[in-house]
Amino acid sequence: MRYRLIAALLALASCSPVAAAAETATKTAAEAAAKTEPTDTPHLPAPTGPHPVGTTSLHLVDTARQDPWVPEAGARELMVSLWFPATASGTRRAPYLTPTESRLLLEGTGITGVPSDVFSRTRTNAFTDVRPARTRRGLPLVVLSPGFTWSRSSLTALAEELASRGYVVAGIDHTYETFATTFPDGRVTTCEACRLEDVADFGATAVRSRAADVSFVLDELTGRRPAWRGGPLLDRSRIAMVGSSLGGASAGETMLRDPRVLAGANLDGTMFAPLPESGLSRPFLFLGQQAHSPGSVEDPSWDRDWRRLTGWKRWLVVAGSVHASFTDYDLLAAQVGVDLGSGLADTRSVEITREYVRAFVDLHLRHTPQPLLDGPSTRYPEVRFCAPPAATCG
């Protein structure tokens, strides 16, 4: 099996069987969906919380660990974006990607016919010149891990929403697993791990590497000398992890290895590293496309690991979604005139992902009741609750 799931952006025959199945499942809905007029200035919908959103980037170096993909590079280096509730709006919005990163993303996915720098012009809602807000209890932390080859920016709409609701969000670029990561000295690394993706057990190896990345980032953010000036504002007792695709697959492994992560969510990712028979007792959310319904022949890993989740758990599938629907890319692709085959029109993919992930972290980090997670909602009829071993979702 190949793991370059970014190909789902093209809504063509993907190297992932799950993404390929989703194309068939959503074809009719996609034909009926409203089309978005292409624009030269893509934009993310504004977050809905009460707080302005700030953002900054950190360059972190793990001197105790050699890079797993390029050993000759030396110590593992990571770029991390932080989004946080701010005291006030600023004057300078954060860029989504650099022009070089935009070009390499388009080249990596094979998308043509749009300006190479189009995603560097994406309008975000976070400001770079603002201070984090203080709260009496401290700010809960959510770690985001993107899909294989995808940048941390691919989850910006979700990050901005959570930050506007009072969370600090740490999005990680897993170096040499992205089409492009830019470092402060101007270096741009590309996807060296892509050369190894056909190697046996590649997925499990990548998941373990990401778990190590996340634990290191948590050390840097919550240690005695935090790498971020807002580190003392964090509530170290309230941490969750959410990932898309390979990042979602890494959430369970991270929780097994790091007890600081209290809850985890997998957004449409194959569970490459099986959970142990002894199980995982902390809260876990599966949220994916219809091809990830119970009994899937394309990807049986959710069925296998569902039985090994022994605590609070939910399995939700979204009708009309495709692999990219749980990131910014479903929305942004439509805005620049690329049809992914999604049946979710306009901003619907972002709305659904934001609402269900926010409800999940509010429930488990703030202990606020969330009726949205108790059963189907008339507000979101696309979202279906699954209860294996039943093969259908209602």
Query: How does 275-288 read in b/e, with b if 16+ C-beta sit within 10 Å?
Result: beeeebebbbbbbb
| pLDDT score, position 37 | 59
- Kindly give the confidence (pLDDT) of every residue in the chain, 394 residues in length, as a single tens digit, with 9 standing for 90 and above: 333 444 433 332 233 333 333 333 333 333 333 345 566 789 999 999 999 999 999 999 999 999 999 999 999 999 999 999 999 999 999 999 999 999 999 999 999 999 999 999 999 999 999 999 988 889 999 999 999 999 999 999 999 999 999 999 999 999 999 999 999 999 999 999 999 988 889 999 999 999 999 999 999 999 999 999 999 999 999 999 999 999 999 999 999 999 999 999 999 999 999 999 999 999 999 999 999 999 998 899 999 999 999 999 999 999 999 999 999 999 999 999 999 999 999 999 999 999 999 999 999 999 999 999 999 999 999 999 999 988 789 8
User: How far, in Å, CA of 281 to CA of 299, rounded?
Assistant: 23
Handedness of CA 353, 355, 356, 360 (dihedral sign): positive
According to the model, what pLDDT value does residue 198 have? 84
State the Cα–Cα distance between residues 150 and 145, nearest whole angstrom. 9
Residue 22 pLDDT:
32
DSSP state of 76: E
Those residues whose C-beta lies under 8 Å from the C-beta of residue 171, and which sit 6 or more positions away, are 80, 81, 82, 83, 143, 144, 145, 146, 152, 153, 155, 156, 159
- Identify the structural domains of the chain with CATH numbers, from first to last: 5-386 (3.40.50.1820)
Ordered DSSP codes for 156-187: HHHHHHHHHTT-EEEEEE-TTSBS-EE-TTS-
Nearest to 314 by CA among 371, 257, 367: 371
Distance CA 289, CA 22 (A): 7
pLDDT for the residue 55: 98
pTM of the model: 0.92
Got the DSSP string for 330-381?
HHHHHHTT--------TTHHHHHHHHHHHHHHHHHHS----GGGTS--SS-T
